[in-house]
Structure 1
Amino acid sequence: MASNRPAPEAPFIPAPTESETFGYGSYRADEGPWEEWNPTEESITPVRGRHRVAKQRGGFARSSTVLGVGVIAAVGAGGMASANTGKPPVSLSLPDLPSMGSLFEDGSSPAPEASTTALSDVGVTPADTERNTGAGETLRNRIMAQAEQQQSKADSRATAAALAAAQKQSADAAAKAQKEAAAKAAADKKKADADAAKAAEAKRLAELAKQYTLPTSSYTITSTFGQAGSMWSSGYHTGLDFAAPTGTLIKAIHSGTVTQAGWAGSYGYRTVLTLDDGTELWFCHQSSISVSVGQKVGTGDVIGRVGATGNVTGPHLHLEVHPNGDATGIDPMVWLRGKGLNP
């Protein structure tokens, strides 16, 4: 806290013994005389800053006791005088502290109350308050602007992340749709290829059907290939039986050459027709044979008649198919269907 400059020391000037004294009946050496002193702007250090002594009610400041005594003595000597410099006197502000009388009290009376004014608010001018308020508002606005900027950046990042997620989801959906479309196209192509192949096979079989025919008509399938039974010496049926009345015509299934024609034991009367690819067709249990060995026949030509010769239980045509003339035959039903025929 700033304080007043110490007063210059007054030169000692003896005063007449008759001069008026202060507070005593006779002259005292310690009463002066003193040089009159008025504080001015040059002699007083201006109070700066906001740190000031809190005001208190009542009396002079204890630290100003000497100054007060000097002022009183000066008044008694001849009164206050103006400064010789010609400048107007400057008022001196003294903090309100307990009175001088309180210094000598025995403590029986209550102490004066201290001022409630905060040290940081003493001497603060409206301009200072306005300046501080403006600075605080500027700082607040700056903080709010930074917060808004950070929030804007966070919102931008969140928007960018959401956009990226949406783009990824859209890309994934597009890829999935493309994959599904490709799979569907492949399935459709496969189905179309299968349908085309099936149509081509049907056309081929139709063309073959013109070259092949069933061996007889007005028949009933009674025994199939591989059927087990004790009536067959091999333990299973080796051909396909077309049951029909005796004398029913037997036709050449396809064009070929007659390689056997005659009695064949348990097969009865049998005709063997060899096709151009080497496949042998056996027509067994005939009642009569209409062709001879070496004879070439065409599709649908009559080669014999249904009978019950050999090891049989009734009139029927026993048909066997032997690819390449093998001793073991194959299922005639499958072979006939492969030629476009449906027994």
Structure 2
Amino acid sequence: MASNRPAPEIPFAPARRETETFGYDAHRADAGPWEEWNPTEDSVAPVRGRHRVAKQRGGFARSSTVLGVGVMAAVGAGGMASANTGKPPVSLSLPDLPSVGSLFGDTATEAPQTTTTALSSVGVALADAQQDTDAGEALRNRIMAQAEQQQGQADNKATAVALAAAEKQSAAAAAQAGKEAAAKAAEAKGEAEAAAAKKADQKAAKPDQKAAKAAEEKRQAEPAKPAGQYTLPTSSYTITSTFGQAGTMWSSGHHTGLDFAAPTGTLIKAIHGGTITEAGWAGSYGYRTILTLDDGTELWFCHQSSINVTAGQKVTTGEVIGRVGATGNVTGPHLHLEVHPGGQAAAIDPMAWLRDRGLTP
């Protein structure tokens, strides 16, 4: 910084000695003599350029300047502390002060009036704006993260519900398909059994043409037997049930005939000559043939596997009329023989009837 030019020297003029001591108790040679000099505008050259300093009027200007700088530093430090610590800053404002030059009274060089800005307010505004921006961004990120988490949970729950519903629907469909398959299988099995039974019935009801032809040839080859002769209905048999035997197997509560157990297919012969009055299916008796003798006695041959005669046919003693079987209400293959005198409904003991005719079963 440039200094002011020195003032021109003034010619020395001795002055009168005075008795003033300048604060000392006696006159001192190194303290004077001095002449009083009052500079004027003519004796002092004016300061040129930007480095002119106006005369100070006391110490107010310097103290005001220092005070302003101190206030500005304090305000700046307060703003920085508020921004750094996060505490709400205290708003301070600096009032409009006149320029330094106006304090010296020099109107020629007085600076224009300016309005100072509250530095703390600027710092606070910037800090608040930055803090609001950061807080808003953090809140937005938190809300977005929470929304994404809730959406993910909702999607997972919806997926689990859909999978459970699909599994339940699949299980129900599988169970329904199983039921339908079981019903169809049972229906097919029933139809097959019914067809097989019908076929067996038709086969059993239809006389064996070959067997009938063979029996007829055998009968013709055998010598004719007397009309009053009797014979047992079958051979190679075992008596298993007798007349009047009690049991739950019979609907009447007791046995109404005589059972000749023999292998299926064993020949059944006419006990005596007579007429075939019935040949076919008879419910619990299975396939049955009724031979009516001349005195009206009916002989029932039941549970046959096949029938070799037809209703109205005349047969003689010992002629083959069918084969042993297990049709109807039976537990095994056998011939069930009943005797009904005069065609009455009530049966009598076949064992006694046969013995009366000279036969021993």
State the TM bucket, normalised to the shorter chain.
0.3 to 0.5
More helix by share: 2
Tell me the TM-score normalised to structure 2 length: 0.37
